[in-house]
Structure 1
Amino acid sequence: MEDYIRISVRGTKYVTSSPGARDLMEKLSKDGHVMVSPNGDYFIDRSPVLFHKVLDYLSGRKFHLPKGICAIEAREELEFWMIPIEAVPNCCYEVLFDDNLSSYDAIEKAEEQLIQGVSPQEENNTPKTKLRRFRDILNKAVQDPFSCLLGKIWLLILAVLTLTSVVCFLLNTVEEYRIDRDILQVIPNNKTYNFFYSNPKRRMLLTTIKPPERAIIEGSCNAVLLLDLILRFIISHRKKVFFLNIQNIIELISGTMCFLIIYLDSRPGILIDYPDLGFLILIIGALYSLRVLKLLRLAETTAEMKILKLCFYQSWKVLCFLVMVFTIFSVIFGCGMFWAEFNNPDTFPNIPMGIWWAIVTITTVGYGDFYPKTTFGYLMASVTAMIGISLIAIPVATLSSNFNTFYTCYTYRKKYIQAKKKAKEARFKDLS
């Protein structure tokens, strides 16, 4: 038995004749990580979970990792036992690197961005005044509406007001839901007349007006939503972050544009006297259309929407690469279609139209405004369609994989937070 050495790893005893194991024990004993008994046995105060795998490696075999082990622990064991990363076979890479730490970090950062500066960064032990306690209650209601009754009521009111505002905005663009103006100003010249009446959309804005009741409802809803935004800013602990948040800026602009549109809609003479302001009216209407983005704030209260938004954040490199590939193939097949249909005078007058056709074909939209009529054109269209189906599968698979990963991590993280909170409450109850 002189060629054998005995190793005890937290009471679990191993006997081996591996020279590599003997050399490793001597190195670790010099570093103070291993204690040597008088009879020459080695004792290591470390988890024995992976040590039999270590002995396999020291005996000349590969270092395989068991399923279900923490990836961080596996990497720490590799470092402690001085096993190079190259010794891990390909079949164990998933176990070695699938720790999802980046996913957990991304979830925390995403939730911090979604909070938008409302929640305080850190707690302190200073006594809380009544105003601060009330502020913290509002913070909790805004940050996690489903955690308290106030948050649920607040969210319900915002949902009703937002949906009402959006419905009013949509109905304002339908002529059947508008009424004729009582007094219509005389159009001064034929040029102005042609400008307005040649476009039915301009004519609708000039000759009709939204009902006063709907204008009052829309204005009231937007006023309350602006007050909600102001209240969020007041209770925010990080006002600079809140003010610079793009979604808050959009909501402020769209809410302001609502009252400007109500003012312009009640005074059609401005459009008649200054027809050059038509482009400005178009910009104002487009900015007010951003009101529909308010629906995103409601959706962000759900875990699924947070995860979907996070998936797009984390997949932006793949999506950008996909856009680049789409663009390249669109140009290639657009040029190819132009030359394939060159002898047909009725199709694809130029290469840009061929590129447009390639885009709608690769994306599987297929408007049908341009299509081939020759044999070479049919062949080119078939190849383009098959390439398009292959490219579409890339972002779908990427987003689906990221969504599953983030959803699993998000669920585990929420369970961990809840368990930690319950343990803290139980410990506080025991102390009291």
Structure 2
Amino acid sequence: MWGIPKTRYADCSGSEASDEIEIVVNIGGLKQVLPGDLLNRYPETRLAELVNNSSESFEVITSLCDDYDPGKGEFYFDRDPEIFKCIIEVYYYGEIHMKRGICPICFMKELEFWKIDPDFLDECCTGSLKEAEEELSEIADKVKLILADLEGDFGSGRWQRFQFFLWKLMEKPQSSLPARIIAIASFLFILISSVVMCVGTIPDLQLQDAEGNHMEHPTLEAIETTCIGWFTVEYILRLISSPNKVHFILSFMNIIDFLAIIPFYVVLTLTYLGTAMMELSNVQQAVQALRIMRIARIFKLARHSSGLQTLTLALNRSITELGLLLMYMGVGIFLFSALGYTMENSHPETMFTSIPQSFWWAIITMTTVGYGDIYPKTTLGRCNAAVSFLCGVIAIALPIHPIINNFVIFYHKHSMLETAAKHELELMALRSGTCALGKASQKSLKSCGAAGLWDSAMRASQSDTYIPLLVDPSERTPQSTRKDKDD
């Protein structure tokens, strides 16, 4: 297919000779001879237009290619020859296969240039394309988030500037050294509060009041009060500085923060005011129940730990595998508990009094915990127990590898997206022409307005070599993202 061109070139005149035309294209230094009847199978493509307009003026021809040599009858294209070898398959086979190692987005840009519908891409190759588009969408979301951080939804007044400064101080630890110190302090207060909550339950560290009731040590209560005071001030400052109060209040992590704070004040209110409205025993029970809610503050660690956030998102992506694990375990628990009850029911000293009561035995057996509080006493029951824990090991082991693999993939993908978003911002700052990136790109991005970066990105999206991340994926089509040269 690839080689020296034939002696006939595209110098025929008239539509009656179009089937006999052979054009010579030079794609990045590689030549190929293409018959006109083959290219006219898809008349809307660029090569078909080149065949049908080969007898037109030099200006018309050069609007379809990068250069043209009338002496050799050779059309030059400064495109990727390896990708073109894949694209030319559409004329021969009616479908396109993307070779391994080719960037899917670059491949789509080539399809747009040659005016070939992406629907010709075979189903076996669309998976990598969709995955690449999803990654681009995620990178664009991160870029938009960073641009929103740079610009913010704040006004230009003195209070708005103070609100923006406070918002970055409380919400963006990477923005400055004081913000990083506040984030570290908040992390330490969470750990101290959690440790104090656990240590306060040790009987040797508890005191007794005049009525003989146990109460926490005053020192531990003082530490707890200090931690709650920090959490309260932090929550109020974050609420004041938030540009969207409703979104802030309804956010899941902020709900966790609120639930970690409010029990302290409810307990304080019930302790000092509740005795006048209800009995002391009821107040103590309510206080004890509300103290249990303090465990919600441990979830505040997720705000300061990217690892916990990645783990949560990875588990969210593994819902299918976790569902299969629960389904396998549920079926096994029901099956082996029923068999265990049937085999052990006739024994005079049986511990399997009912099938629901046997569920506990099946759970601890299939998970290989085996407390020994319930165990079979017949031979058949022991055989059933042996089969049950073997099946339990298999049922648990099978979905574990996909879950771990999802976590590893998601963690590396998260790191890659962070790096890609940072590089995208650097490219946008370079194209803006108003900011010069020095040794620290973050400082230059601060000095460069977010709106200017956004505008430069939209201008650069018109380039053939730029991938428009900040354009809606539905707009990345040959008809809407590229302006043909002949228009």
* TM class, shorter-length: 0.7 to 0.9
Structure-2 separation of matches of 1:19 and 1:359 = 72
Moved more, 151-160 or 221-230: 151-160
One-letter amino acid of the counterpart of residue 287, structure 1: M
One-letter amino acid of the counterpart of residue 15, structure 1: Q
**Cross-structure match for 1:313:** 316
| Residues 425 and 27 of structure 1: CA distance in aligned 2, closer, same or farther (over 3 Å) | closer
**Cross-structure match for 2:189:** 161
**Cross-structure match for 2:242:** 236
Structure-1 separation of matches of 2:343 and 2:87 = 64
Over the matched positions of the two proteins, sequence identity in percent amounts to 23
**Cross-structure match for 1:294:** 300
Give the 3-state SS of the residue equivalent to 2:346 in structure 1.
coil
**Cross-structure match for 1:256:** 262
| Residues 430 and 351 of structure 1: CA distance in aligned 2, closer, same or farther (over 3 Å) | closer
1:168 Cα deviation from its structure 2 partner: 2.0
Tell me if structure 1 keeps the 8 A contact 2:39–2:91.
no
Deviations 1:309-347 (A, max 9, x none): 211233334433433343233212221222233333423
Alignment of 1:210-359 (within 5 A): 210-261=216-267, 273-277=279-283, 279-299=285-305, 302=306, 304-344=307-347, 345-359=349-363
Structure-2 separation of matches of 1:319 and 1:257 = 33
Q: Does 1:128 align with 2:156?
A: yes
1:414 Cα deviation from its structure 2 partner: 1.9
Q: 2:172 aligns with which of 133, 138, 144?
A: 144
| Residues 207 and 124 of structure 1: CA distance in aligned 2, closer, same or farther (over 3 Å) | closer
Unaligned runs of 5+ in 1: 185-205
Alignment of 1:20-419 (within 5 A): 21-24=38-41, 26-28=43-45, 36-38=53-55, 47-56=80-89, 58-59=91-92, 63-74=96-107, 80-81=115-116, 87=122, 95-99=128-132, 101=134, 105=138, 108=141, 123=151, 128-181=156-209, 183-184=210-211, 207-261=213-267, 273-277=279-283, 279-299=285-305, 302=306, 304-344=307-347, 345-419=349-423
One-letter amino acid of the counterpart of residue 28, structure 1: T
Tell me if structure 1 keeps the 8 A contact 2:87–2:96.
yes
Deviations 1:331-383 (A, max 9, x none): 12221222233333423221112222222333343333223333322332233
CA RMSD of aligned residues (A): 4.2
Structure-2 separation of matches of 1:342 and 1:103 = 61
Structure-1 separation of matches of 2:388 and 2:408 = 31
| Residues 421 and 87 of structure 1: CA distance in aligned 2, closer, same or farther (over 3 Å) | closer
Structure-1 separation of matches of 2:220 and 2:411 = 41
Structure-2 separation of matches of 1:348 and 1:423 = 69
Tell me if structure 1 keeps the 8 A contact 2:22–2:33.
yes
One-letter amino acid of the counterpart of residue 401, structure 1: N
Structure-2 separation of matches of 1:68 and 1:355 = 52
Deviations 1:159-208 (A, max 9, x none): 23222222221122111111232x22xxxxxxxxxxxxxxxxxxxxx523
Alignment of 1:5-20 (within 5 A): 5-8=22-25, 12-16=29-33
Structure-2 separation of matches of 1:34 and 1:283 = 82
One-letter amino acid of the counterpart of residue 53, structure 1: C
Tell me if structure 1 keeps the 8 A contact 2:321–2:403.
no
1:263 Cα deviation from its structure 2 partner: 6.3
Structure-2 separation of matches of 1:134 and 1:33 = 61
1:283 Cα deviation from its structure 2 partner: 2.8
Tell me if structure 2 keeps the 8 A contact 1:215–1:262.
no
One-letter amino acid of the counterpart of residue 161, structure 2: R
Could you tell me the TM-score, scaled by structure 2's length?
A: 0.68
Structure-2 separation of matches of 1:316 and 1:125 = 35
Could you tell me the TM-score, scaled by structure 1's length?
A: 0.75
Tell me if structure 2 keeps the 8 A contact 1:4–1:15.
no
One-letter amino acid of the counterpart of residue 232, structure 2: L
Moved more, 315-324 or 55-64: 55-64
Give the 3-state SS of the residue equivalent to 2:434 in structure 1.
helix
Structure-1 separation of matches of 2:119 and 2:395 = 38
Tell me if structure 2 keeps the 8 A contact 1:363–1:388.
yes
- Report the count of equivalent residues: 399
| Residues 264 and 208 of structure 1: CA distance in aligned 2, closer, same or farther (over 3 Å) | farther
Tell me if structure 1 keeps the 8 A contact 2:196–2:224.
yes
Moved more, 120-129 or 4-13: 120-129
Deviations 1:397-416 (A, max 9, x none): 33322222322222222223
Structure-1 separation of matches of 2:350 and 2:358 = 13
1:235 Cα deviation from its structure 2 partner: 0.3
One-letter amino acid of the counterpart of residue 235, structure 2: L
